[in-house]
Amino acid sequence: MCVLCGQMFSEIHWSECQLDPVQVSQGSGETSRRQERHARIRLLRKVLAQYGLEISDDWSATSYVVGNRKGDQRLAAAMGELWRVAEQMAGRALDPLDESLLERLRSLESTA
């Protein structure tokens, strides 16, 4: 548990597990943890926009906030849960092999 914010770190998704939980709980790895989350959210925004969804961090940068254009918002604690939540809100599977998604990501790259 983080001594500063009281958040529990009972489960760390494998894609985030290079973080050292001890460092995070002591606050010494907080800067790099936040930088990684910012980078992850930047990429997730590009992906989820294809499905009409938005994403941001909660105040403590420990949960993802997924929203749609109707104003609905849901929290996801980790990456595994994020995809399930996003799929439910989008009403369809989020497929990284989907041609239109890949085209969109490539086009964003060319305009960046």
Partner 1 sequence: MTRHGRCAITILSGFLGSGKTTLLRRYLAEQARGDVHVIINEYGEVGIDHHLVHMVEDQTVLLQGGCVCCGRREELVSALRDLLDQEQTGAGAIRQVVIETSGLADPVPVIFSLATDPVLRHQFAVPLVVVTLAAIDAEAQIRRYEEVRKQIITADRVIITKSDLTTQQEVARCRVAIRALNPTARMIVSPFGEAFDSLAPDERQDDGRRREIMLRGSIGQPQQHPSVQSASLALDSPLDWTGFGVWLSMLLQVHGPNVLRIKGLLDIGDAGPVAMNVAQHVVHPPEHLPGWPSTEHRSHLVFITRVIDPVRVAYSLETFQRAAGRSDLRVQRLG
Of these, 49, 61, 77, 105, which contacts partner 1 (CB under 8 A)?
A: 105
**CB pairs under 8 A, 24+ apart, for 88-95?**
89/53, 90/51, 90/52, 90/53, 92/51, 94/47, 94/48, 94/51
Residue 111 makes contact with partner 1 by CB under 8 A: no
Residue 93 makes contact with partner 1 by CB under 8 A: yes
Residue 23 makes contact with partner 1 by CB under 8 A: no
Of these, 17, 22, 56, 88, which contacts partner 1 (CB under 8 A)?
A: 17
What residue type is 101 in one-letter code? L
Residue 1 makes contact with partner 1 by CB under 8 A: no
